[in-house]
Chain A
Amino acid sequence: MFAFAVKRILQAIMVMLIISCIGFAIKHNFGDPVRDLVGQRVTPTERAEIRERLGLNDPFMVQYARFLGDAVQGDLGQSYFFKKPASEVILKKAPATLELVLCSAFIITFLSVPLGIYAAIKPQKWFSRFIMGSSIIGVSMPVFLTAILLIYVFAVELHWLPSYGRGKTVCIFGWWDSGLLTLDGLKHLIMPSIALSSIMLPLFIRLIRSEMMEVLESEYVKYAWAKGLKPRRVWWVHAFKNTLLPVITVGGVQLGIMVAFTILTETVFQWQGMGSMFIESVERSDTSLMVAYLVFVGLIFVLVNTAVDIIYGLVNPTIRVAGRK
């Protein structure tokens, strides 16, 4: 097992090396960071001097080697805009995004499972049709449109919920700014997390429904019916447990993708997380922050996928953990 862990960590490092390398190779396509640091009046010569000073004119290998050297010591470079180490900026923004994703994941799990199962076991009921129909409409609405419509209805017209930002946050563990512990923070969280889950929820409902329907047709479920078990037991213990497998796999990937989807939600709600930080770093050509973000997200993906592999093994004992001999 130790071998597995070492292997996974090595792979994670490889992934991040490749990501940072690609990030470095393409970063000049994202514009000149100096351009955003200076006013319109600064001459091209002076800009070139600043570039030189920041080491942006060095050859690719030199810059990359310097980055790796620093990265080994835990320094992912300096954000030009925030004038702070990039890792510090990212960690400062991470709680906002993680809380948003967590809350959406919560909504998705607690809605998709009962709704998906219901739609599978009672496919002909009008409510099932309603679920499926509205799930399609949900999936057809761009996130940013859902978001602005929510703002329009609940903030502008009804004045029920705040329209932007995170509200009052509390500092926990000494570094984590949490909006989950104040009423104001929770109020601010409602609309962004609904908007974010609106695109994934339909997908999960449909996935659970289709997997569940398939399982319900299988021999062992029929056998369970034949034994005269209570419907509830058949659905939950026999059928649902077996639909979990593909759902978890897709879920793991989608959770990762959701981190990417937060970009739009965060932009519209002015939610100060990593997504909006990333998009702003691209807009400001804050390339060092951008590369640091890529490496960080790469790390999250590797971690999530490792976790998925492990849970996968737990749920389905016939599948062995990847990498085991």
Chain B
Amino acid sequence: MRTRWQRFKQSYMLYNFLRDPVAITSFIILAFLVFTSFAAPIIAPHDPYDSSTIDIMDAQMAPAWIDGGSSEFLLGTDAQGRDMLSTMLYGMRVSILIGVGAVCLQAFIGIIVGLLSGYVRRLDNILMRFADVQLSFSTYMVAIFIGAIVQTMFGVAGYDRVAVPLLIVIIGLAEWPQYARTVRASVLAERKKEYVEAARVIGLSRIRIMLRHILPNTLSPVLVISTVQVANAIMSEAALSFLGLGMPITKPSLGSLITAGFEYIFSGSWWITIFPGILLVSLILVINLLGDWVRDFLNPKLYKG
């Protein structure tokens, strides 16, 4: 018996991966970013969540290599006097959590609804109209509404503790219909194909056909959407911050850092916007590049053809 590790070592996946320099580079960068963000409490020079260490008099200091900068703050400070580098690392952690969490929730709801409505005729109309209702309520409204409910339940005291799960739920609930409609479209296209008919003829259960036969064949568009959706979810959170409904200002995410920097566009304190921007773009870039690779790999027609 080969161990799992041996099997993995000899797998086609690893082989394919090691032959693709873009994938390797992206993976290394992504791993590095994820590691630094989750290890932020250990490696970050300051703790931006500990407000007692922040001094307003340090506000808007330039990066260390520019006049007016201090070696204490490598990438400068923001408008509150927080160290940019540490705040970005902590913020990236929040962004990754929200992005991945929200997309998992979206995909979960969306795939179930999409499969059901694509495959079970009777549910189709109901579920799709339900998606229409959901789409009419933009993320912004869902945010205000759920935010209000949470506040009546927990009061204003613990908001900064519940903010991350709250935003995951908000963004997840607000944007699942895109998945549902995409999956449904693919299911509609697949269900008429011979292999589904064949599966039906040999008497497999509906659930089995849906999950084991149709679902894998609808994953390609789902993956394309997913990688973009992670970016979108992070973006949605930034947009909510822009409208004043995102992460609490004391625990900023990468998106809300950029939002905060938005105000400083004309002011000359470029580092407040540019650094989080570069970090966010590189994060999403590597996620997308890896997503492309996974898609190409998972798509059997592409590599066998």
Give residues in A with beta carbon < 8 Å to B. Answer: 7, 11, 14-15, 18-19, 22, 26, 29-30, 132-133, 136-137, 139-145, 148-149, 152, 156, 199, 202-203, 206-207, 210-211, 213-214, 217-218, 245-246, 249-250, 252-254, 256-257, 260, 263-264, 279, 282, 294, 297-298, 301-302, 305, 312, 316, 318-319, 322-323
- Check if B128 sits within 8 Å of A30, measured CB to CB: no
- Number of B positions contacting A (CB below 8 A): 59
Give residues in B with beta carbon < 8 Å to A. Answer: 124-125, 128-129, 132-133, 135-141, 144-145, 148-149, 177-178, 181-182, 185-186, 188-189, 192, 220-221, 224-225, 228, 231-232, 235, 238-239, 242-243, 255, 258-259, 262, 265-266, 273, 277, 280-281, 283-285, 288-289, 292, 295, 299, 301-302, 305
B244 (CB) vs chain A CBs: closest residue: A283
- Check if A256 sits within 8 Å of B285, measured CB to CB: no
Docked pose: A322 CA to B192 CA in angstroms: 14
- Check if B144 sits within 8 Å of A140, measured CB to CB: no
| Contact flag A141-B281 (CB < 8 Å), given A246-B221, A294-B136 | yes
Docked pose: A166 CA to B139 CA in angstroms: 26
Docked pose: A139 CA to B226 CA in angstroms: 13
Docked pose: A44 CA to B231 CA in angstroms: 45
4 interchain residue pairs of minimum CB distance: A29-B148, A249-B185, A140-B284, A260-B138
How near does chain A come to B221, taking the closest CB pair, in angstroms?
A: 6
Choose one: B133, B185, B221, B239; the contact of A298 (CB below 8 Å): B133
- Check if A298 sits within 8 Å of B132, measured CB to CB: yes
Docked pose: A151 CA to B104 CA in angstroms: 35
Choose one: B140, B182, B239; the contact of A249 (CB below 8 Å): B182
Choose one: A133, A142, A301; the contact of B259 (CB below 8 Å): A142
Count A-B contacts at CB 8 Å. 152
A203 (CB) vs chain B CBs: closest residue: B228
Secondary structure of the A side of the interface?
Answer: helix
| Contact flag A207-B224 (CB < 8 Å), given A142-B242, A264-B239 | yes
Point out the residues of chain A lying under 8 angstroms from B295, CB to CB. Answer: 210
A148 (CB) vs chain B CBs: closest residue: B265
Secondary structure of the B side of the interface?
Answer: helix
Docked pose: A230 CA to B120 CA in angstroms: 42
Tell which of B136, B139, B145 has the most Cβ of chain A within 10 Å: B136
- Check if B239 sits within 8 Å of A136, measured CB to CB: no
Point out the residues of chain A lying under 8 angstroms from B182, CB to CB. Answer: 246, 249-250, 253
Docked pose: A141 CA to B231 CA in angstroms: 9
Tell which of A7, A202, A249 has the most Cβ of chain B within 10 Å: A249
20 A-B residue pairs with Cβ-Cβ distance under 8 Å, sorted by A, are A7-B125, A19-B136, A140-B285, A142-B242, A152-B266, A206-B228, A207-B221, A213-B302, A217-B302, A246-B185, A250-B178, A250-B185, A253-B177, A260-B138, A298-B132, A302-B132, A305-B132, A316-B189, A318-B192, A322-B128
Choose one: A203, A214, A254, A260; the contact of B220 (CB below 8 Å): A214
- Check if B285 sits within 8 Å of A137, measured CB to CB: yes
- Check if B228 sits within 8 Å of A202, measured CB to CB: yes
- Check if A297 sits within 8 Å of B284, measured CB to CB: no
Docked pose: A245 CA to B181 CA in angstroms: 12
Docked pose: A284 CA to B35 CA in angstroms: 44
| Contact flag A323-B136 (CB < 8 Å), given A30-B144, A142-B259 | no
How near does chain B come to A23, taking the closest CB pair, in angstroms?
A: 8
Point out the residues of chain B lying under 8 angstroms from A263, CB to CB. Answer: 138, 140
Point out the residues of chain A lying under 8 angstroms from B129, CB to CB. Answer: 11, 14-15, 302
- Check if B238 sits within 8 Å of A139, measured CB to CB: no
Point out the residues of chain A lying under 8 angstroms from B141, CB to CB. Answer: 282, 294
How near does chain B come to A119, taking the closest CB pair, in angstroms?
A: 11
Choose one: A22, A210, A301; the contact of B224 (CB below 8 Å): A210
- Check if B224 sits within 8 Å of A206, measured CB to CB: yes
Choose one: A29, A254, A302; the contact of B145 (CB below 8 Å): A29
B142 (CB) vs chain A CBs: closest residue: A26
Point out the residues of chain B lying under 8 angstroms from A312, CB to CB. Answer: 185
- Check if A15 sits within 8 Å of B228, measured CB to CB: no
- Check if A305 sits within 8 Å of B144, measured CB to CB: no
How near does chain B come to A262, taking the closest CB pair, in angstroms?
A: 10
Choose one: A143, A257, A322, A323; the contact of B239 (CB below 8 Å): A143
Docked pose: A173 CA to B218 CA in angstroms: 45
Point out the residues of chain B lying under 8 angstroms from A139, CB to CB. Answer: 228, 231-232, 284, 288
Choose one: A11, A144, A213, A253; the contact of B125 (CB below 8 Å): A11
A305 (CB) vs chain B CBs: closest residue: B132
